[in-house]
Amino acid sequence: MLSNKTNLILASIIEAWTTSEIDRLLIHLNMQVPAQPNGVTISKSNKVNYILTKLNANGETQKKVMEFLLIRFKQRSSSLSSSDPFSTTPDPRNIEEQFNEEYQTLLTSLHRDGYTVRNLEYTSLLPEELIETDTENELFRLLNKYEFTTEKGHLEQAIENHSLQNWAGANAQFRPFLESLLMSICNKLTAPNRCNNYGEALQWMANTSKVNPVFLSPSLNEVPSQGGSNDKTYVSGLMNRLHPQGPHPGLSDEEDSTFRYHTVIIFARYLLKRLEDRFT
């Protein structure tokens, strides 16, 4: 499913359409907006808000809205081409370039959710099993459940920067988000003791004298065994990938920043589900 942020972008696009176009979308969605009291005419804003409610609740609705958006764009492009007596049949690649330029903000948000538009078709970037878990929304649910407000703040800043195509700004939030999350999980598992830093959190959660059974497993190469090398473990490798230029976030493009985002939220959700299962 798409995130609430992507659905808001879609709603703002729809609100700029004419009333008749919105009505055609409602027919395409097989939806009927509830009647207003006293026979008051349903405003365009009310129709869009109704569509937004359905977008946030249903992945199939999201798919149909994206399909309608693409159909509308293709028809509009064809109409503009046919009105020009000197035009030839439009090059599909040029039409896609126009779409990418016009809906750049939407595409950026779609990529973060694991979807894209390729050959003017709405398609997934990630395996369906990862998309269907609705990773981002589930992650925020778990962060709220355990009141991990600092971590939530880092993640929200990462998403905001990614939406603004500030890749370096987004990248700068990923590592502190994970470091802070690991420390908070450790402190919850070892309360009332509190670890002082991220490195100590990794050691404690892999030590049966602190957390039994261990939360991070040396046998799975998540972290090193006591006294072992950290170079070839998963968490260390992930942190190094998030900051390939040392402690600084470094510059990257959309593809690289989106990859970091997907990697981070999938691992973070996995950790928090593991924590939830432990206390169930």
98, 125, 152 - which closes a domain: 125
Residue 86 binned pLDDT confidence (cut-offs 50, 70, 90): very low
Give the pLDDT confidence of 219-273 residue by residue, as tens digits. 999 998 876 666 689 999 999 998 876 544 556 789 999 999 999 999 999 999 9
Q: N- to C-terminal Cα distance for the chain?
A: 26
- Collapse the DSSP code of 41 into the 3-class scheme (helix H, G, I; strand E, B; otherwise coil) and give the result: coil
Phi, psi torsion values for 121, nearest 5 degrees:
-125, 140
Q: Domain tally for the chain?
A: 2
Domain membership of residue 90 (yes or no) is yes
Structure tokens at 199: 């490195």
CB 193 within 8 A of CB 135: no
Does 99 lie in the same domain as 189?
A: no
The Cα 171–Cα 111 span in angstroms is 15
CB 106 within 8 A of CB 13: yes
Domain assignment of residue 97, given as a range? 4-125
Give the pLDDT confidence of 195-215 residue by residue, as tens digits. 989 999 999 999 999 999 999
DSSP H/E element including 118: strand 115-118
Does 108 lie in the same domain as 218?
A: no
Residue 112 binned pLDDT confidence (cut-offs 50, 70, 90): very high
Residue 81 binned pLDDT confidence (cut-offs 50, 70, 90): low
78, 103, 125 - which closes a domain: 125
Does 98 lie in the same domain as 157?
A: no
83, 105, 125 - which closes a domain: 125
pLDDT recorded at residue 41: 81
In 157-274, DSSP assigns E strands to none
* Radius of gyration, CA atoms only, the chain: 23
Does 274 lie in the same domain as 197?
A: yes
- pTM value is 0.80
Does 167 lie in the same domain as 56?
A: no
Does 187 lie in the same domain as 256?
A: yes
Residue 88 binned pLDDT confidence (cut-offs 50, 70, 90): very low
- Collapse the DSSP code of 89 into the 3-class scheme (helix H, G, I; strand E, B; otherwise coil) and give the result: coil
Does 110 lie in the same domain as 233?
A: no
In the chain, DSSP assigns E strands to 115-118, 121-124
Domain membership of residue 130 (yes or no) is no
Does 173 lie in the same domain as 54?
A: no
Domain membership of residue 60 (yes or no) is yes
Domain membership of residue 254 (yes or no) is yes
Residue 183 burial (10 A CB sphere; 0-12, 13-18, 19+): buried
Structure tokens at 198: 């991220």
Round the average pLDDT of the chain to a whole number and report it.
88
Does 77 lie in the same domain as 21?
A: yes
